[in-house]
Structure 1
Amino acid sequence: MGDENNKLVKAFSTKDVLALAFGTMIGWGWIMLSGQWAASAGMLGAISAYVVGAILCIFVGMAYAELTPAIPCTGGSVVFSYKAMGYWPAVIAGLATAFAYLGVAAWEGPAFATAIDYIVPIPKIGFLWTIKEFDVYASWALVAIVASVIISFVNYRGAKQAAVFQTIATIGLIVVGALFVFGGLTKGDVSYTKPFFTNVKGFSSVLLMVPAMFVGFDVIPQSAGEMNVPLKKIPRLLILSICAAALWYMLMIFSTCMSAPVSVRLTGTIPVADAMAYAYGSPIWGKICIVGALCGILTSWNGFLYGGARVIYSLANAKMLPAFLGKIHPKYGTPSNAVLLCAALSTFSCLLGKSALSWFVNASSFGVVIMYGMVVLAFIFLRKNAPNLERPYKVAYPKFIGFMGVLVAVFFFWLYTPLGPSPLVGIEWMLVIVWFILGLACAIYAKGKYSNVTEHEREQLLFGEYADKK
């Protein structure tokens, strides 16, 4: 067995890793939902929900912060779970992670076409079908498909190309965000921000959405095999990315409230863009805002496509999924077949229209819950069963962190079950069930086909030079 992990190119610098994590977390949701968050909870209520949500995510993030430099191998939740709990828990963690990432990547195409349509209306040519009362046209879908092909090509060509793309798009996102904040501060009106608080129900409704908005920092462990970064830096990058995303969302809520009255924020086509246009007194500023939103869509899309391909590669490279998905491109050093699979799924979703977005967002959130739960369990198990594992970074109060991490995972899990306030609907459950049935079928096939792979050989494939760490 060869050491496949070393065939991935170590191309990511510190700034690349930060851009990957931050850009992946900041997608399209903020530009559509900031006005809704403020209306539900009030400006300070919505901001407070993000403070609470960030703290909850940091408990999970601390588990990642300890595990990533201790096991710095491509796969994140896969390698953590395998090291702590064995074969099948690693499969479950990997399938959940891939589902979470690809679920988000699946709605970036329709979001991209929606944003382009705001700037330059797309002619309605070639009616295809209606999904959830949204008419899908071939012309509209083609815009999303072209973007999907470009993003997929960037990922296919190499990690460094993906990193450069991510950095440029993240800078564009931040520049437009800064213009929006400046407009709110200098041209807005404090009277627009009232009420500051609404009620507990409003606060809770915003808090329910927070977990999905923070998904993305966990892409950092997926890139561990391609980082050219000191291991001791990784924990700081993880926590810094969560805090940066929380600050972004809070600033966007504040600026949306300052920039325009409630009537504009709630009735506009794209709330934040309409608020920015109102503050600056010209519709051109709404289009400029959408340029920033496009950067957010592209960074999130790029990051989740990257992360999804790496977790599938990690499983396939270890012969826990069909081995062809673990192929490394001889020239580009990327998991090319895994990238192509993720690209195909992302491109297909472009045909479903923007009304299907909620299906993918909600279903992928369930995958996030399982992923977080498995990582927290791996953290707890390794602290107990591998106390001497070399840990470049050790969290303080590990029992408390583990306990809180479990509570957070259980809380998130409860949100999406029939017992919670925002359960998944039928088609969302269908997406979850079909994904796991197909994934487990592939895993069972691989288990039989590669039954001659020994545990030692599999550890070499998963952990590479770190296989013998105890």
Structure 2
Amino acid sequence: MSSDSGLTRKKLSKTLKPHWVWAIALGSSIGWGSFVLPADWMQGAGPLAVILGLSIGAVLMAIIAISYGVLIRNYPVSGGEFAYTFLGLNRVHAYISGWFLTLGYICIVALNATAFALMLKFVFPDFIQNMKMYSIAEWDVYFTEVIVVTILVAFFTYLNIKGSGLSGRMQFIFVMILVVGVFGLTGLMTTNVDASFSNMTPSFDPDVSPLAAVLAMVAIAPFAYVGFDNVPQAAEEFKFSARKSLGLIMMALLFAAIIYSLMIMTTALGAPWQETSNAGLQWGTGTVVEDVLGTGGLIILVIALSMGIFTGLNGFLISASRVLFAMARGKVLPDVFSRLHSKHNTPYFAIIFAALVAIIAPWFGREVLGWIVNMSSVGVAIAYFYTCFTAYKLLKWNKDGAEFDETLHIVSPGKKFIAMLGMVSSIGFLVLLLYPGSPAALGAESFWALLIWIILGLLFYLIRRKDLNSYDREDLAYLILGKDKFKLTDKED
């Protein structure tokens, strides 16, 4: 809209190059999980079940990503799923999508930062395990750990305020070091005389059906690959055509699946996987690598893990702040979240707010944070569904019908069918996470965390409802999507 209503739409600077965006997607997708969780994942599943489950998950994510590609190409704006949900439905659903996304992204920032402290606890236990404050859910909380997390988050907060160009460049450097480290570790492990492929047998846990084991891993795909959807959050800052976005996402998903598989192999080759998974080790992968490759191998692993943590922390801090910025620009959140830095033109208040929430997390212990992150997988799956639904609504089977508008609809029956598959996949993820009998059902603690977040979201919406409803749909379309005309639907559902 806007000259008519007098609204002014704030815009971000276009600074991101294609390979930086690829690095944001890949680095966010793998983060710390590929280095810390292999032993945990193999327990009750087996190495082949993990590799198959995550590979199938990557294919399902690729199906969903096609809908993202369509929407990024036509609506390259900050906010991603929040903006798409408004486009396909209305402001209420957009709020729901944004509410869950914000929680998920900020939690993953915190999870990556605490993973760095966990790594230091393994490598330098005498340093981290100082100044114990208390225990929560049988997890000891140390003040030293809190300090480390705070310093790390503060560094990336500063990096992001300085500009997406700087954070994007650093992201690419971190990712390249990570990729070299992973391939190097796998190469060293496969050629070491003390490692053996026989350690990967049995391929599946004999106490669990192969189907249940694979499905349990497929269910965590929204958590394992969350990060490819950081691309639409940064779309407004592309210094290149948005047409390239789908290719960048697909390349990131492919590399992520390969890296996950290589790290499962690296962990399983060094020692019988059942012994590693059931030994109750603080860091199974770290123990195996140190035992087989010695201090040199552990150093490579620690460097690669550090890069994974940095890329995850940086990528999700970018995304969390952009969702907050977009929601504020769309009048869902207070205007303060859309404030831009006078010199760097970055949403500095949103960045600082996301960072402050993230550094609260280590005070509650990693177990509590884990419950919240598991719960946030539900929100991510909901956001995936909304995106696929909007793409399905945008795409057309053919040009028949008087209501067809070429500026807002695209004839592509193949992509429309894939968008429908994406909706089905998203619903499948939700069923696996929420159905009590599912092999991947959320624990009771995560269900309570989900309920609390829903109640908080409802209360906050009721507080903001009057102000949000004071704007008509065309005005919000201008603020959220940057469109002067809005013809997809005449009114909100």
Query: Who is 2:414 aligned against?
Result: 397
Distance in 2, Cα, partners of 1:231 & 1:394: 19
The 1-side partners of 2:63 and 2:353 are apart by: 32
Q: Does residue 232 of the first structure (1) align with residue 243 of the second (2)?
A: yes
1:291 maps to 2:291: no
**Cα distance change on mapping 1:407 and 1:89 into 2, 3 Å:** same
Q: Which residue of 2 aligns with 1:146?
A: 151
Per the alignment, residue 161 of structure 1 pairs with: 166
| Range with bigger deviation, 195-204 or 368-377 | 195-204
1:103 Cα offset (Å): 2.3
Q: How do 1:16-415 and structure 2 match up within 5 A? A: 16-121=20-125, 122-187=127-192, 188-198=195-205, 199-200=209-210, 201-262=212-273, 263-264=275-276, 266-267=278-279, 268-280=281-293, 282-383=294-395, 388-390=405-407, 397-415=414-432
Q: Evaluate the alpha carbon distance shift between residue 205 and residue 83 of structure 1 in structure 2; reply closer, same or farther with a 3 A threshold.
A: closer
Residue 35 (structure 1) shift? 2.7
Residue 299 of structure 1: how far off its partner (Å): 0.8
Structure 1 residue 98 displacement after superposition: 1.4
CA distance in 2, matches of 1:245, 1:115: 21
The change in CA–CA distance for 1:99 and 1:393 in structure 2 (over 3 A counts) is farther
Partner AA of 2:326 in structure 1: S
Amino acid of the structure 2 residue aligned with 1:380: Y
Does the residue aligned with 1:321 lie in a helix, a strand or coil? Answer: coil
Residues in 2 aligned to 1:387 and 1:113: alpha-carbon distance in whole angstroms: 55
Judging changes above 3 Å, is the alpha-carbon distance between structure 1 residues 123 and 42 closer, same or farther for their aligned structure 2 residues? closer
Structure 1 467/173 Cα, relative in aligned 2: closer, same or farther at 3 Å? farther
Higher helix share: 1
Give unmatched runs, 5+ long, in structure 1.
Answer: none
What is the deviation of 1:349? 0.5
Q: 1:387 to 1:81 in 2, by over 3 A?
A: farther
Judge conservation of contact 2:408–2:487 (CA < 8 Å) in 1.
no
CA distance in structure 2 between the partners assigned to 1:270 and 1:396 by the alignment? 48
Q: CA deviation at 1:300?
A: 0.7
Which whole-Å CA distance do the structure 2 matches of 1:56 and 1:464 have between them?
30
Letter in 2 for 1:105: V
* Partner Cα separation in structure 2 for residue 284 and residue 393 of structure 1: 54
Identity over aligned pairs, percent:
25
Report the secondary structure of 2:16's partner residue. coil
One of 421, 424, 449 as aligned partner of 2:467? 449
Q: Sort the Cα spacing of 1:393 and 1:25 in 2 relative to 1 into closer, same or farther, 3 A.
A: farther
Letter in 1 for 2:122: Y
Residues 124, 139 of structure 1: 8 Å contact kept: yes
Matched residue type, 1:148? V
Please, which of 433, 450, 470 is the counterpart of residue 432 of structure 1?
A: 450
In structure 2, relative to structure 1, the CA distance for the partners of 1:166 and 1:295 (3 Å cut) is same
CA contact (8 A) 1:66 1:394 kept: no
Q: 1:50 to 1:395 in 2, by over 3 A?
A: farther
* CA drift at 1:22: 0.3
Give the C-alpha shift of residue 332 in structure 1: 1.6
The alpha-carbon deviation at position 264 of structure 1 amounts to 4.2
State the 1:393 CA deviation: 8.7
> Is the contact between residue 25 and residue 227 of structure 2 (CA under 8 Å) also seen in structure 1?
yes
User: CA 1:242 to 1:437, structure 2 compared with 1: closer, same or farther past 3 Å?
Assistant: same
Which of residues 413, 420, 439 in structure 2 aligns to 1:421?
439
Unaligned runs of 5+ in 2: 1-5, 489-493
Residue 9 (str. 1) matches residue 13 (str. 2): yes
Cα offset, 1:130, TM superposition = 0.6
Distance (whole Å) between structure 2 residues aligned to residue 256 and residue 392 of structure 1: 48
Q: Closer, same or farther in 2 for the Cα pair 1:460/1:209, shift >3 Å? A: closer
Contact preservation (8 Å) 2:391, 2:416: no
Cα pair distance change 1:437/1:269, threshold 3 Å: closer
Alignment partner of 2:103: what SS? helix
Q: CA deviation at 1:440?
A: 4.1
CA distance in 1, matches of 2:317, 2:368: 19
| Normalised TM-score (structure 2) | 0.88
Alignment root-mean-square deviation, CA? 2.4
2:140 is paired with a residue whose SS is strand
Q: Distance in 2 between matches of 1:466 and 1:237?
A: 29
The change in CA–CA distance for 1:176 and 1:469 in structure 2 (over 3 A counts) is farther
Q: 1:326-377 deviations in whole A, cap 9, x for unaligned?
A: 1111112111121122111101002122323421321111111111111111
SS for the counterpart of 2:133 is strand
- Cα distance in structure 1, aligned partners of 2:23 and 2:251: 11
Secondary structure of the residue aligned to 1:41 is coil
- The TM-score with structure 1 as length reference comes to 0.92
* Conserved? CA contact 1:369–1:409, under 8 Å: yes
Distance (Å, rounded) in 2 between the aligned partners of 1:123 and 1:164 = 30
Aligned length: 468
CA pair 53-221 structure 1, distance change in 2 beyond 3 A: same
Cα 1:379/1:287, change in 2 over 3 Å: same
Report deviation, 1:400.
Answer: 2.5
d(CA) in 2 for partners of 1:309 and 1:422? 30
Displacement of 1:467 in angstroms is 5.4
- Contact 2:26–2:255 (Cα < 8 Å) also in 1: yes
Give, in angstroms, the shift of residue 47 of structure 1.
1.7
